Amino acid sequence: MENTTHFGFKQIATNDKQSLVRDVFNSVASKYNLMNDVLSFGAHRLWKHYTIASSNVKIGDKVLDIAGGTGDLAIEFRKKVGDNGQVILSDINAAMLNEGRKNLTNKGIFSVEFVQLNAQSLPFDSNTFDCVNISFGLRNVTDKDQALKEMYRILKPDGCLLILEFSTTDSVFLKKIYDFYSFNIMPKLGGIIADNEASYQYLAESIRKHPNQETLKDMVLDAGFDFCEYHNLSGGIVALHKGIKV
């Protein structure tokens, strides 16, 4: 029997997910930053600022930003590590990586490296990085458990994993508003602004299929991390998980 997984609310063959996700991000790459601002009312910038502030990244550190897309976080990590540090911006999607390269170049930042990779098989030696970050990307990974094990492997002892992702709110009132917005407004805005309603329908569905806060915390610990905590942002619509490798 063929292995299956979810693509939004659809069940598909596991081997098909990567290409379907690639098609989604190929289609939205050029409008990605604009849509983030519109759909989150700018809140994504506050969520990312909180992530950077929670990272404990310091001068001289090595940072890997997985699914880094247009490079918002890589820019800030670059400031924190200084001239002696290293930041690698990575993404599985070439179109998104190209947008990141253009974005950093336009801001005069040339000291970030770019690597196209799959989070399930990271092309780095064990114990290489002080910090690994993945923001709004883990829900698109086919085998999340394998990806988390890889992130654990490449982190140095005392290294930090940061996962910023949409999550689950406990507020019944907020959930009703958020569900209505996600399935009735968000795809329509995607159609109007990015000329791609279907991709934003998938993105709304993918959020609902992502593990909740406690489940993801357990997954991080099961991957080998000795410590994991999470902080809810915007009432739990978004959560930041922080794992430490001892």
| Annotation: binding site for S-adenosyl-L-methionine | 70, 91, 118-119, 135
Sign, CA dihedral 47-165-194-92, equals: positive
Exposure of 180 by Cβ count < 10 A (0-12 exposed, 13-18 middle, 19+ buried)?
exposed
Here the tokens at position 116 are: 């196209």
* Ordered alpha helix ranges (H), 10-135: 14-28, 32-40, 43-53, 72-81, 94-106
Here the tokens at position 241 are: 């998980």
Binding annotation? 70, 91, 118-119, 135
* Strand 155-166 relative to strand 238-244, pairing: antiparallel
Q: How far apart are CA 203 and CA 82, in angstroms?
A: 35
* Ordered alpha helix ranges (H), the chain: 14-28, 32-40, 43-53, 72-81, 94-106, 144-154, 172-180, 186-193, 197-209, 213-222
Which residue in 86, 93, 82 sits closest to 117, CA to CA?
93
User: Can you state the angle between helices 32-40 and 94-106, rounded to 10 degrees?
Assistant: 90
Q: How far apart are CA 99 and CA 30, in angstroms?
A: 7
Q: How far apart are CA 200 and CA 220, in angstroms?
A: 27
